Every structure is written in structure tokens, then in C-alpha cells.
Amino acid sequence: MMNIFKKTILTVLVSFLLIGSAYAGKIKIGTEGAYPPWNSKDASGKLIGFEVELAWTLCRYIGSQCEIVEQDWDGMIPALIMRKFDAIMAGMSITAERQKAISFSQGYADEVASLAVMKGSSLEGMETSEGINLGKKTGAVKKDLKTLTSALAGKTVCVQTATIHQNFLESGDVGKVNVRTYKTQDEVNLDLAAGRCDAALAAAVAFSDYAEKSGKPVVLVGPTFSGGAFGNGVGVGIRKDDTDLLNAFNKAIDKARKNGDISRIAIKWFGFDASM
């Protein structure tokens, strides 16, 4: 009697383990759904955006069923580690800090970050180059950082919490600024428009998307940022021990890139080719 009981439990446990390791079931992909045009929700609450469409495409190449689930940004990596889902596609840049906790696939898209202000702000008309790459600290980059440091001194700059944008502002590259953090980019936009923030920092497309949809006079100022604290493109975040899934995503991204899927979807959502 006891034996049968033990066997049953063992079978159940083993089958759970099998379900957990093989992706015969479903790949669950976590996204924020609040960072347009990367990922957001339409009026009916359906998840849409560049990454949502790309996720379905990648799933087709992997040949597995997928489910896209929503997760608040600040709990994204903990939720992945605690197996609420198996992959992150949420405009998450590949940075050394995050790579301590999770693995990333190769990058599938790249974004530049930018400061934004309301029209008429004293920060408008800052004299800097078009864009700077913080990966290489050349003379021109240092000069721009200096200009930014003096322009932003004592100013309140708003960012979404736990982002590359927050890391950059707290890195000391632009001196001491009052960094105010928000749970979502929506809230950053609201407070920028309300005048509580002197400036905000996020993906340039996040601001242009907001300006277009809300009709608010939000303008981009200063250089666009890439490299360094801004990471090396956006990739799929995957648990460190999930090498099978990592390989599957890498192969799927290769295929999607070769067939022009990533470019096509990027142009549809961003208006330009953000693929990489």
C-alpha cells in the first residue's frame, strides 16, 4: 500500500519536473505593457506593440506555443527568476548589472535615450552633438557631458524606476541631479507635462509617442545617448540555467533577422528601422 502511494507521488513529481524543463508546453513571455511603442495595451486591454508582435514571430520560428503575460516593470527580473514566466521581452537593455542576475539573448533592437522637456524650458537649445556613445569616452563625449552637468545642476529629472536611464543619472556622469523615480513611463510623462519635472529621460521613442498621442508640447533636448550605462541593445531576458531556451531564442532571432521580420515590425511600430 505504502509502495503504491510512494510511487504515485514520485510519478507526479517527475512529471512536474519534465513539464518544467522541456518546453513541450508553453513558453511564457513577460512584458510590461506600458512602454509604447515597445509594448503597450490597446483600449480593450489587449497587449500590442513592437515586442508583442515580435514575440509571436519568434515563437513561430521556435515552433512552440507561447503566452504573453503582463508584469510590472520593477518586478520583472525577480518574476523571471521566480518562474512566473520564462522570458522577458520588455524593452530591456542588455547591461552588465542585469547580466549578473539573468542571461540575455543576442540583441534584437536598439534604442537611443534622450532627455525631454516641455516647450519653453530653459534647457531648450542646449549646444551638444547629435548623439553620444558612452562606450567610448572621447573628447567630444566628455565635452557634452560637461555641458549637461552644468545645465542639469539642481534640476529635477524624472525617470522610470530600475531603468538604464536611472542608472545613468545616478552614475555621476552628469554630476548631481535630483532623480525622481516613477513606477511607469506614463507617470513620468504626466509629471513632465504637469511641470513637476524639469526634464525626463527615457527612450526617445517613448517621448515622441507620448507627444504625438497626447498633443502635449514635449520636445527632445541634448544629445541622444547610447553605449556605456545604456547597455548594448535590447534582448530577450532568460534565466541563467535555461540554456536550451536561450539557444532557441538566439536561433529564432537569427532567422527573423535574415527574413527581414524584425526590420518590418520595427518600421511598423517605431517609424524607422530599430532592428539590430
| Site residues (vs other proteins, CB under 8 A) | 74-75, 77-78, 81, 97, 101, 158, 161-162, 180-183, 187, 190-191, 193-196
Task: For other proteins, give the closer residue by CB, 217 or 271.
Answer: 217
**Shortest separation between residue 99's beta carbon and other proteins, angstroms:** 12
**Shortest separation between residue 34's beta carbon and other proteins, angstroms:** 15
Residue that the C-alpha cell 541622444 belongs to: 224
Task: For other proteins, give the closer residue by CB, 29 or 188.
Answer: 188
**Shortest separation between residue 239's beta carbon and other proteins, angstroms:** 12
Distances (CA, A) of 111 to 101, 114, 157: 22, 10, 20
Task: For other proteins, give the closer residue by CB, 50 or 168.
Answer: 168
- E strand spans, 32-142: 40-41, 47-48, 65-70, 87-88, 103-104, 113-118, 131-133
- Residue 130's SS3 state is coil
Residue that the C-alpha cell 552633438 belongs to: 129
- Residue 114's SS3 state is strand
Contact 123, 155 (CB under 8 A): yes
**Shortest separation between residue 77's beta carbon and other proteins, angstroms:** 5
- Residue 34's SS3 state is coil
**Shortest separation between residue 159's beta carbon and other proteins, angstroms:** 10
Task: For other proteins, give the closer residue by CB, 110 or 191.
Answer: 191
- The torsion region of residue 236 among left (phi > 0), alpha (psi -120 to 50) and beta comes to beta
Task: For other proteins, give the closer residue by CB, 91 or 223.
Answer: 91
Task: For other proteins, give the closer residue by CB, 13 or 81.
Answer: 81
Provide the edge-to-edge strand list for the sheet that holds 65-70.
65-70, 26-31, 87-88, 237-238, 103-104
**Shortest separation between residue 200's beta carbon and other proteins, angstroms:** 12
